[in-house]
A and B are shown apart, each in its own frame.
Chain A
Amino acid sequence: MKVAMVGNPNVGKTSLLNALTGGDFSVGNFPGVTVEKKEGKGLIDGKAVTFVDLPGIYSFQTESLDEKVARDYLEKEKPDLILNVVNALNLERNLYLTLQLTRFGIPMVIALNMIDEAEKERIRIDTKKLSEIIGVPVIKTSAVKGVGIEELKREILRGGSVPKVFSGDLQDIIRMAEKIAREVKVVEKLEKPEIDEALDEVFMDRHLGIPIFLSFMWMMFMFTYSVAQPLNDLLSFCFDGLASYVASFDGWFFSMLGDGVVAGVGSVLSFVPNIAFLFLFLSLLELSGYMPRAVFLVDGFMSRFGLNGRSVIPLIMGFGCNVPAILATRSIEDRKVRIVTALINPFMSCSARLPIYVLFAGIFFPKTGSVVVMSMYVIGVLIALISALILRKTLLKGESEFIMELPPYMLPNLKELWLMTWSRTKHFIQKAGTVILAMSVVVWYITTYPGGSIEESYAAMLGKAIQPLFSPMGWSWELVLALVSGFVAKEVVVATIGVLNIDVPSVMTSYQAFAYMLFTLLYMPCIATIAAIRAEIGTRWAMFAVLFSFSVAYAVALIATGVGMWF
């Protein structure tokens, strides 16, 4: 038996699914779309029931991706039963969707969820009357408190009943829903829960709101990069060991497997702890209900650059690593804003670029080193915001229209937290992993052949061949080769300079070094970042990101060199 769960966002569908199945989920993704569909299998009185948790929607009228997924599922897969989850706190609005569901002609059961909260607010709903009007069983439930779950299971097994059909356009539906809500609902005393109001007062305070938000961001940052770091180091250590062990066998195949596949895939997989910890924190922010509040706080600033409040989290995350940051753009609904946020993300200077700045600043700017390093971060942010503005005025024009419901604050359930974190992490491993595998082999090949070492490789030839491109900046072919190798991961630039034994102070002046630092800040993102961009917004945009960032880097480095020569 197949049961489709349909309801507005924030009605507690996932909690209910959890309560019905005892937490036995298999989380799956719809192929080709980013919207997730959760599936849970449960045994009710020995009968196997499959629950499909469709994305939370408000209606079937706006042609959004979520609605399309839900409608296609109901029309094509023809589930045996629709379990319509209704938030008892906001019956009227939830009924808009309920009435539109009657048109599918599929048997239905209504779960009047969050009934405990509604009763606390003195909202009384006559379920018998509601059941008569719509023609389907209505059960009061509270997934969190475990109320009504057994009764709901029994009704599900009975198979519900086909509802009376309510048709008409959205206006008619709304009028009918208003009328029904008036008939079945009694509000004895309308009062918002004090705790929610108090939390909102604090979190969205004119003066306190932003400092609180920034401290949460700082915590997220520490959690993602510092707390997860030992795990990350452990994985890199294991992969490095495995890579050199495999590569120690004779023959090109082992070299490819070790230095190419294991080293390359390993370098990406060792980010998994960071990514999992980031997703854990983000899921916590989302499930607790804080996220929409933060979005409201920063929207004014972000909208000046054609972005919206939702862009701020990915941008801040970019300072750590652009890969999880780009994955975090998934929470932005507006497609154009989302693409722009992902495209400008590599300009946020990630931690892998710091060793490069430290190396050059140490050599050329011994006294003002920290200011120079800091200036890299600031220039990165400025260029990101300016690029956003330009992209939104040209290629990705259009007004960003967003509306977001502020859900009540909630203490997240551990199981849900885990499921959300895991399904997102898995998505990263699958999508980024496959691209990395192919890219790693290519990079291994060009840095190993034909000479056997990087100095006599195709990469070196490439460095020499494209060096004239960088002659205006006056960089030697070794420095260019270091840039080429930085394509794998930016920290490799430093490693290559080491391997090639470049005497840096003798081949460049301080302004050239500054231009070189700017170039490494801005030029094409590393493979892992490109893979993340491709996974999130597609191959064409990933190619655009490479070209765009390269052009910006080139222009900026050229300007820096030009200005430097004047002094």
Chain B
Amino acid sequence: MSVVPLSALREGQEGTVVAINGGRGCTARLMSMGIVPGKKIKIAGRRGGAVLVSVNGTKFVIGRGLAMKVAVDVGGQG
């Protein structure tokens, strides 16, 4: 298992959310939107700044700053 920030994933890469390393407010915000430890998360696209992710069949645009706070386990492929 190898854990990397969400912002480091390539387009098309998939992983499992492990933790959110942010303040209370930002953690609560991400979790309320369904980005919760244990969920599968997939990078559907990225253009330098924000990343486009897909969780639970819903797509989100996450700014780079926030994406750095989401720790993702990419298994053996990281």
Residues of B within 8 A of A192 (CB): 57
CA distance in complex: A90, B35 (Å): 13
5 A–B contacts from the bound complex (CB under 8 Å): A61-B32, A90-B57, A401-B26, A403-B61, A406-B52
CA distance in complex: A418, B60 (Å): 28
Residues of A within 8 A of B61 (CB): 292, 295-296, 299, 309, 402-404, 406
Given known A62-B28, A62-B32, A401-B65, contact A90–B58 (CB-CB < 8 A): yes
Residues of A within 8 A of B60 (CB): 403-406
Interface residues of A (CB under 8 A from B): 58-59, 61-64, 89-90, 92-93, 96-97, 170-171, 174, 190, 192, 200, 204, 206, 292, 295-297, 299-303, 308-309, 399-406
Given known A58-B33, A170-B32, contact A297–B25 (CB-CB < 8 A): no
Residues of B within 8 A of A96 (CB): 32, 34
- Contact across chains for A401 and B63 when beta carbons are under 8 A apart: yes
Q: How many B residues are at the interface, by size bracket?
A: 20 to 34
CB of B76 closer than 8 Å to a CB of A: no
Q: Which of B15-31 contact A (CB under 8 A)?
A: 25-26, 28-31
Given known A58-B32, A170-B31, contact A299–B63 (CB-CB < 8 A): yes
- Contact across chains for B48 and A308 when beta carbons are under 8 A apart: no
- Contact across chains for A303 and B63 when beta carbons are under 8 A apart: yes
CB of B3 closer than 8 Å to a CB of A: no
Q: Which of B46-61 contact A (CB under 8 A)?
A: 47-50, 52, 56-61
- Contact across chains for A296 and B29 when beta carbons are under 8 A apart: no
CA distance in complex: A407, B57 (Å): 11
- Contact across chains for B59 and A405 when beta carbons are under 8 A apart: yes
- Contact across chains for B32 and A59 when beta carbons are under 8 A apart: yes
Taking the closest CB of chain A, its distance from the CB of B52, in whole angstroms, is: 6
Residues of A within 8 A of B56 (CB): 90, 92-93
CA distance in complex: A292, B61 (Å): 7
CB of B62 closer than 8 Å to a CB of A: yes
CB of B40 closer than 8 Å to a CB of A: no
Residue of A nearest to B46 (CB): A300
Give the one of A192, A204, A206 with max B CB within 10 A. A204
CB of B66 closer than 8 Å to a CB of A: yes
CA distance in complex: A404, B50 (Å): 10
6 closest A-B pairs by beta carbon, nearest first, are A300-B48, A300-B49, A59-B32, A299-B49, A58-B32, A61-B28
Residues of B within 8 A of A400 (CB): 63, 65
Interface residues of B (CB under 8 A from A): 25-26, 28-34, 36, 45, 47-50, 52, 56-66
- Contact across chains for A402 and B52 when beta carbons are under 8 A apart: no
Give the one of A61, A89, A301, A401 with max B CB within 10 A. A401
Residues of B within 8 A of A404 (CB): 60-61
Residue of B nearest to A297 (CB): B47
- Contact across chains for B58 and A405 when beta carbons are under 8 A apart: yes
- Contact across chains for A93 and B30 when beta carbons are under 8 A apart: no
CA distance in complex: A96, B33 (Å): 9
Taking the closest CB of chain A, its distance from the CB of B4, in whole angstroms, is: 19
- Contact across chains for A63 and B33 when beta carbons are under 8 A apart: no
Residue of A nearest to B35 (CB): A403
Taking the closest CB of chain B, its distance from the CB of A531, in whole angstroms, is: 31
CA distance in complex: A61, B28 (Å): 6
Residues of A within 8 A of B47 (CB): 206, 296-297, 299-300
- Contact across chains for A399 and B58 when beta carbons are under 8 A apart: no
CA distance in complex: A64, B24 (Å): 12
Residues of B within 8 A of A190 (CB): 57
Residues of A within 8 A of B59 (CB): 200, 405-406
- Contact across chains for A296 and B32 when beta carbons are under 8 A apart: no
Taking the closest CB of chain A, its distance from the CB of B62, in whole angstroms, is: 5
CA distance in complex: A62, B57 (Å): 23
Residues of A within 8 A of B30 (CB): 403
Taking the closest CB of chain B, its distance from the CB of A256, in whole angstroms, is: 50
CA distance in complex: A174, B35 (Å): 10
CA distance in complex: A295, B34 (Å): 21
